[in-house]
Amino acid sequence: MRKTITMAAATAGHAEGGTPLNAFDNALLAAGIGNINLIKVSSIVPPEVTLTDLPKIKPGALIPTAYAAITSEVPGETVAAAVGYALPDDPAKPGVIMEFHGVADRETAEQVTERMLEEAFRVRGEVVREMRVVAVEHTVRHVGCALAAVTLLTDEDLV
Amino acid sequence: MRKTITMAAATAGHAEGGTPLNAFDNALLAAGIGNINLIKVSSIVPPEVTLTDLPKIKPGALIPTAYAAITSEVPGETVAAAVGYALPDDPAKPGVIMEFHGVADRETAEQVTERMLEEAFRVRGEVVREMRVVAVEHTVRHVGCALAAVTLLTDEDLV
Amino acid sequence: MRKTITMAAATAGHAEGGTPLNAFDNALLAAGIGNINLIKVSSIVPPEVTLTDLPKIKPGALIPTAYAAITSEVPGETVAAAVGYALPDDPAKPGVIMEFHGVADRETAEQVTERMLEEAFRVRGEVVREMRVVAVEHTVRHVGCALAAVTLLTDEDLV
């Protein structure tokens, strides 16, 4: 908490598993964040943060993360998860992260997330300088999970 | 986590939004905590902590927060959220935070929260020195959210 | 978050309460973690961590914890919660924590958790050096809770 976030990185993954929790674990592994401790946050990009590709994070690190996930045990069902961030014109102001999960396809997940970000900026009276949405869908064979996440990182979280 | 909590501040808010997540975001903004990262905790006031009005918190700060929230998409429905804390006679002992959310009015939310705090102190064998409950209700137009929170703060979280 | 986890300790508890949240609070007290702030994590044992019995933790400390809990208001119903960890042969690699909760008995909770840990290691291509599952069941009288947790600790969290 005392830590100062300097980077944010978005990622997504989907997978099958033997149980819903294993499907979630496997989706985290597919997204490249399966060996860290996610701490769920709600959901702001601090000012002056660099948006990067997902770096290699220390195993077991405690990482504040905004994420959306859905597991399903309905064969043939398509589920989707998305996260998106929008950054304001003024870099001294914070950005916003929105999450979506549901029985939906990837395109729907993206569109809903974009609309949520637009509303979040409208109510704050801010102009969007940059917006990015990461979404994934999964069509269930037995037990499946779709997951999307924005990790909030410091230099010392990296390998 | 290494951080030492020195202050706790309760707040509440309610709002409409275009989606449940936007209603939640708007309720956070109404409560004055819409631009920070809430980390949900379960739910103790550390000893020797000062209870204050909500101060101005750094945008994007990672703030351990005990909170209750409810969103509803049922027009005309009244939903409520409450948080309360009780502090013991002995300032070296921790206080307790309880949360409530439900399809209820504000008065009910307050009463339930008070009763939960009383039980929490009874089972701990402690006497309540001070109790405070913050509650809010929202009658839904389209999509609404009621939210109440106790933030746990350090000096460096403040602007 | 900057904190470096050096210990992990598993525990479990079950209790009745006047409300579901009080039953949860009472189960936390029964498990010896009722006076700390749990921060839910998902769910890795960092490398080089010592597994210990639950030590005495500072009241109000913010403790990253993987936990499973279930409350029930169905008299006569038996609910169970379990957490388990598995550690790899290579101590430089992280371990995995899995959680289970459900309407089930303790033995079922243990077995499901073991199978989840086995899958987690199979997909990671790691060999289990050590596995431990802690489970608890509760048969509800009025309102009951079963809870199991793995706390992730540093030296400074201890009394």
> If pLDDT is split at 50, 70 and 90, which confidence band does A100 have?
very high
Residue where the block lists tokens 């709600």:
A42
Distances (CA, A) of B18 to A81, B11, B26, B35: 19, 23, 10, 18
Comparing alpha-carbon positions, the chain C residue that sits nearest to A35 is C44
CA of A144, closest CA in chain C: separation in Å? 15
Characterize the bridge pairing of strands B7-16 and B50-52. parallel
pLDDT > 70 fraction of chain A, expressed in percent and rounded: 98
Query: How confident is the model over C56-80, as pLDDT tens digits?
Result: 999 999 999 999 999 999 999 999 9
Across C5-13, average pLDDT = 97
C-alpha to C-alpha distance for A45 and A130, rounded to whole angstroms: 12
Catalytic positions of B are 37, 42-43, 99
Query: How confident is the model over A67-83, as pLDDT tens digits?
Result: 999 999 999 999 999 99
Q: Is A99 a catalytic residue?
A: yes
Global pTM exceeds 0.90: yes
* CB neighbour list of residue B13: distance below 8 Å, 6 or more residues apart: B27, B28, B29, B30, B31, B32, B136, B146, B147
pLDDT tops 90 at residue C96: yes
Task: List CB contacts (< 8 A) between C120 and chain A.
Answer: 22, 25
Tally C-beta pairs within 8 A across A and B. Answer: 79
> If pLDDT is split at 50, 70 and 90, which confidence band does A1 have?
very low
Across A131-147, average pLDDT = 98
Task: List CB contacts (< 8 A) between A47 and chain B.
Answer: 59-60
Residue where the block lists tokens 């944010």:
A8
Tokens of A6: 């300097």
Contact A145, A27 (CB under 8 A): yes
pLDDT of residue B4: 85
> Cβ contact (<8 Å) for A120 and B38?
no
pLDDT tops 60 at residue A2: no
Q: Is C99 a catalytic residue?
A: yes
Nearest CA among A86, A102, A90 for reference residue A135? A102
Q: Is A72 a catalytic residue?
A: no
> Cβ contact (<8 Å) for A17 and C45?
no
* CB neighbour list of residue B122: distance below 8 Å, 6 or more residues apart: none
Chains that touch C (3 or more CB pairs under 8 A): A, B
* CB neighbour list of residue B126: distance below 8 Å, 6 or more residues apart: B88, B89, B90, B93
Chain-centre distance of CA B126, in angstroms? 22
C-alpha to C-alpha distance for C65 and C33, rounded to whole angstroms: 10
Task: List CB contacts (< 8 A) between A100 and chain B.
Answer: 21
Query: How confident is the model over A8-27, as pLDDT tens digits?
Result: 999 999 999 999 999 999 99
Report the mean per-residue pLDDT for chain A: 96
> Cβ contact (<8 Å) for B49 and C64?
no
pLDDT of residue C4: 85
Backbone conformation region of residue A76, classed left if phi is above 0, alpha if psi is from -120 to 50, else beta: left
CA of B23, closest CA in chain C: separation in Å? 24
pLDDT of residue B1: 45
> If pLDDT is split at 50, 70 and 90, which confidence band does A4 have?
confident
Nearest CA among C49, C91, C67 for reference residue C148? C67
Out of B19, B24, B60, closest to residue A46 by CB: B60
Task: List CB contacts (< 8 A) between A124 and chain B.
Answer: 29, 34-35
Task: List CB contacts (< 8 A) between C18 and chain B.
Answer: 115-116, 119
Task: List CB contacts (< 8 A) between B58 and chain A.
Answer: 46
Across C34-44, average pLDDT = 97
pLDDT of residue C112: 98
> Cβ contact (<8 Å) for B63 and A152?
no
Catalytic-labelled residue, pool A99, A110, A126, A137: A99
> Cβ contact (<8 Å) for C60 and B45?
yes
ipTM, two decimals:
0.96
C-alpha to C-alpha distance for C111 and B124, rounded to whole angstroms: 34
Contact C61, C40 (CB under 8 A): no
pLDDT tops 90 at residue A3: no
Residue A26 host element (H or E)? helix A20-31
Residues on C contacting B at a C-beta cutoff of 8 Å: 1-3, 17-19, 21-22, 24-26, 28-29, 34-40, 58-64, 154, 156
Low-confidence ranges of chain B (pLDDT < 70): 1-3
Nearest CA among B34, C41, B20, B14 for reference residue A44? B34
pLDDT > 90 fraction of chain A, expressed in percent and rounded: 97
Sign of CA dihedral A38, A39, A40, A43: negative
Sign of CA dihedral A29, A31, A35, A38: negative
Out of A37, A58, A156, closest to residue C42 by CB: A37
pLDDT of residue C1: 45
C-alpha to C-alpha distance for C12 and C113, rounded to whole angstroms: 14
Q: How many CB atoms lie within 10 A of CB A53?
A: 9
What is the total residue count of chain C? 159
C-alpha to C-alpha distance for C36 and A29, rounded to whole angstroms: 30
Q: What's the distance, Cα to Cα, between the start and end of chain A in Å?
A: 20
